[in-house]
Amino acid sequence: MKVSRIYYEKCFPLGGYSNEKVGMEVVLTDGESTVEGFALCKKEVEKAHKFFAEYPSYQEAVSKVVDSENITPREMKRYAECIDVFEANYPEYIHKFIPVGRQLNENKEEEYYHPF
């Protein structure tokens, strides 16, 4: 038997009785081991989930740095370090997901007309 595809999926608890399933499938080429394929899937699934879990903290840090008049120099340093670490860990994710993430993570309530 020869394994040619590997699929890995993990269910992450988000709190409030909700979960997120993240999965990935790789197609192995000749010479690639199943262990390497599985390791790649697991690593990428974990990284994708971690990116979206850490994104709100990154977004907060960016907003605080932009409004730097209201934070202390120590806080500014901490927020700048948070931004640097996030951007160093997820360069490929930032360019592909943040525009979508901003739309998905903006929890603006729609304005409804209330007649009373």
pLDDT in tens, 39-72: 999 999 999 999 989 999 999 998 888 888 888 9
Model confidence, pTM: 0.71
Query: Whole-angstrom Cα distance, residue 98 to residue 79?
Result: 18
Nearest to 45 by CA among 16, 25, 27, 15: 25
pLDDT digits (tens, 9 = 90+) for 3-43: 889 999 999 998 899 999 999 999 998 888 899 999 999 99
pLDDT, position 1 = 77
Query: Whole-angstrom Cα distance, residue 46 to residue 32?
Result: 21
pLDDT, position 95 = 79
pLDDT, position 109 = 45
pLDDT, position 48 = 92
Do residues 10 and 49 lie in contact, with contact meaning Cβ atoms separated by under 8 Å? Answer: yes
Query: Whole-angstrom Cα distance, residue 9 to residue 25?
Result: 9
pLDDT, position 99 = 59
pLDDT digits (tens, 9 = 90+) for 90-116: 998 887 876 544 444 444 444 433 333
